[in-house]
Structure 1
Amino acid sequence: MARRSVSQLGENESVNEVFVASSKQLRPNRQGNLYLQMQLSDKTGIVNAMMWNANDSIYKRFEDGDFVRIQGTSQFYNGSMQVIVTQIEKVDPNAVDQSDFMQLSPQQVEQLLKELAAQLRGIRNIHLRNLAECFLIDESLISRFRVVPAGIKNHHAYEGGLLEHVVNLIQIAKAIVPFYPQVDEDLLVMGVLFHDLGKVDELSTDKGLAYSDEGQLIGHLVSGVSIVDRLIVEAEKLSGEPFPQELALRIKHMVVSHHGRLEYGSPKVPMTAEALALHYLDSLDAHMHGFDKLLADDANSDSNWTSYSPQFGRKLYKGSGS
């Protein structure tokens, strides 16, 4: 019997399926009774889940990142689907088809890495190409980069998501550069590579998708600049000469300004042509990916409109389908 995925959950349906559990919390309600709150996921999406009348024993049955079999009922609540859980048990990973929980297959990840390497080794500026090579030969960095998501919820929120986001952005960047001759293509490509690289330290996939302690305390912009600084040192060793200071400043400026606005977490706003282009291209790719996912996951199947999206601050029009 085919499994029921997150995206196939309908309102007021019985649920008896295996998911990945994450973000579990044991919390008291207003009367002081404990309930278990968590997220359940597979390759099609994430759904919030609640288990009333829980206790510490139930909480300790599984850890974040474990496969669990859920029994319960789905319901539509505050514009989103959720699952009210009545039974939960940990499942042996060997009894699970891992492909049901992977947005990108290992083969797809390898192909994306090959595409990324080809793009980076095609950089014309020798200093930037050396810097890119130092990234590509850093096995520890690549091993984390290939699995980390681009985010926890809003876009590319799955293992390999950051890699896919970066490869997409490089292709988009190269497509628009001919229309803006003031933009340095090689520099923009390096900005795309490094803009979210700090997420290898900010985010963790060990126990589901979650923020690490470094992510909570420092964030990926600061971590990203640290990685750039470290790779510049390696590039200087590789070339035997100093890395141009202005190039280093321009790269790090793109990292710290790519959110575009101070209130969005950037300590600086874009002040170079490449930084401005990176901000808008990054925003475009993230929002279009989030748009498509919202349309695909929307539980409001009887309407031409999605439910209200906190990410977009509006409902989205799905069309009549005619």
Structure 2
Amino acid sequence: MSRRYVNQLSHGDSVDEAFLVADKQLRANRQGNLYLQLELRDKTGSVGARLWNATEELARTFEPGDYLLVRGKTQIFQGSLQIILTHLDVLDPTRVEPEDFLPQSSQNVAKLFNRLRELLLAMHEPHLRALVECFLIDEEFVAKFTAAPAGIKNHHAYQGGLLEHVVNILNVADRILEFYPEVDRDLLLTGVFLHDIGKIEELSYERSFAYTDEGQLVGHLVMGVEMLRDKVERTADLTGEPFPPELLLRLKHMIVSHHGALEYGSPKLPMTLEAVALHYLDNLDAKIHTFGREIRDDPVRESTWTPFQQSLGRRLFKGTTARDTPEGTDEA
């Protein structure tokens, strides 16, 4: 019997299905009664779920990354779909197909990686080309880079999402750089490739998406600079000379400043042409992806607006819906 995925659920559906636990919180309502607030996931997305009258003993039987067989019914609550659970069982992970539960890029990862190589290896600056070659011949790095998400819940939060995000930005940069001849093409493309490399170690993404201990304590900006410095030391084997200090400085600056503002986690504001270009290209791709997802995945199909999106600080306009009879007209 085929399973029902999250993107196939709608208001009022009965649910008897297996999901991966992405998040678990044991909470108390105003009367002090405990309930479980869960985020359940499969490869098509995630859905909130609540189990009333829960116990601490039940909550201790599973953790994020485990699989549950749940029963319940869906409802729309504050504009979002959720499942009100009546029962749950912890599943043996050997009884499930892992590929059913972690979201993956809808694009062909092999083609994305080939496009990445095509753009990066066409660069002319010898030290930058040697640097990207050092990354691309590192099989462990490539395996992680092509599997990692770009985030846990925000943009490109699926396996292969980091690669897809980087290739999107590279493609945009490739198309617009002719209008900005003062921007160093090879430097910008290298910075695009490197800006989020720390995420391959900041995040864990084998069974569920979460932060590693180092990711929580250090973060991908610092981790990315460390990875860059490690590879820079190896470029001399390809070029026969040391990596230019200013070139390294500019790359490090692009990594640490690409969030664009101190309040968004950048220890420095962009202070070079390539750094400011990277910031806006990165933000463009992330925002377009996030807006598109919120509009596409809104479960309330009849509304022309999404619910208020806390992370975006606004509702999003989806457009008018088709109606049998235009408003203000009488049927014949």
Instruction: Tell me if both proteins adopt one fold, taking TM over 0.5 as the criterion.
Output: yes
- Counterpart of 2:235 in 1: which secondary structure? helix
Counterpart of 1:232 in structure 2 is 232
Alignment of 1:75-224 (within 5 A): 75-93=75-93, 95-104=95-104, 108-224=108-224
The question of 1:282 aligning with 2:295 is answered no
Do the aligned partners of residues 95 and 151 (structure 1) sit closer, same or farther apart at CA in structure 2, a change above 3 Å counting?
same
CA contact (8 A) 1:154 1:311 kept: no
| In structure 2, C-alpha distance between the alignment counterparts of 1:171 and 1:185, rounded to whole Å | 12
CA contact (8 A) 2:69 2:88 kept: yes
TM-superposed CA distance for 1:10, in Å, is 2.0
How high is the TM-score relative to the length of structure 2? 0.90
Q: Which whole-Å deviations, capped at 9, do the CAs of 1:21-52 have from their partners, x for residues lacking one?
A: 12223344444433222211122211122222
| Aligned-pair Cα RMSD in Å | 2.1
TM-superposed CA distance for 1:111, in Å, is 2.4
Q: Which whole-Å deviations, capped at 9, do the CAs of 1:109-144 have from their partners, x for residues lacking one?
A: 222222222222111111001000111112222222
| In structure 1, C-alpha distance between the alignment counterparts of 2:111 and 2:65, rounded to whole Å | 26
Q: Which amino acid aligns with 1:192?
A: V
- Counterpart of 2:36 in 1: which secondary structure? strand
Counterpart of 2:53 in structure 1 is 53
Q: Which moved more, 1:178-187 or 1:234-243?
A: 234-243
Do the aligned partners of residues 186 and 263 (structure 1) sit closer, same or farther apart at CA in structure 2, a change above 3 Å counting?
same
Counterpart of 2:301 in structure 1 is 301
CA contact (8 A) 1:64 1:207 kept: no
Counterpart of 1:265 in structure 2 is 265
CA contact (8 A) 2:149 2:157 kept: yes
Counterpart of 2:10 in structure 1 is 10
Q: Which amino acid aligns with 2:212?
A: S
- Counterpart of 1:275 in 2: which secondary structure? helix
Do the aligned partners of residues 56 and 265 (structure 1) sit closer, same or farther apart at CA in structure 2, a change above 3 Å counting?
same
Counterpart of 1:246 in structure 2 is 246
Q: Which amino acid aligns with 1:131?
A: L
| In structure 2, C-alpha distance between the alignment counterparts of 1:157 and 1:105, rounded to whole Å | 9
Gap regions ≥5 residues in structure 1: none
Gap regions ≥5 residues in structure 2: 323-332
CA contact (8 A) 2:131 2:235 kept: yes
CA contact (8 A) 2:105 2:160 kept: no
TM-superposed CA distance for 1:94, in Å, is 5.2
TM-superposed CA distance for 1:195, in Å, is 0.8
| In structure 1, C-alpha distance between the alignment counterparts of 2:145 and 2:17, rounded to whole Å | 31
CA contact (8 A) 1:65 1:206 kept: no
TM-superposed CA distance for 1:239, in Å, is 2.6
| In structure 2, C-alpha distance between the alignment counterparts of 1:106 and 1:99, rounded to whole Å | 13
Structure exhibiting the larger radius of gyration computed from Cα positions: 2
- Counterpart of 1:35 in 2: which secondary structure? strand
Q: Which amino acid aligns with 2:288?
A: M
Q: Which amino acid aligns with 1:88?
A: L
Counterpart of 2:326 in structure 1 is none
| In structure 2, C-alpha distance between the alignment counterparts of 1:281 and 1:273, rounded to whole Å | 12
Q: Which moved more, 1:160-169 or 1:204-213?
A: 204-213
Q: Which moved more, 1:160-169 or 1:57-66?
A: 57-66
Q: Which amino acid aligns with 1:140?
A: E
| In structure 2, C-alpha distance between the alignment counterparts of 1:105 and 1:151, rounded to whole Å | 13
Kindly tell me the number of residue pairs found equivalent between the two proteins: 322
TM-superposed CA distance for 1:75, in Å, is 2.2
Do the aligned partners of residues 52 and 126 (structure 1) sit closer, same or farther apart at CA in structure 2, a change above 3 Å counting?
same
- Counterpart of 2:225 in 1: which secondary structure? helix
Question: % of aligned pairs identical?
Answer: 52
CA contact (8 A) 2:105 2:158 kept: no
TM-superposed CA distance for 1:226, in Å, is 0.8
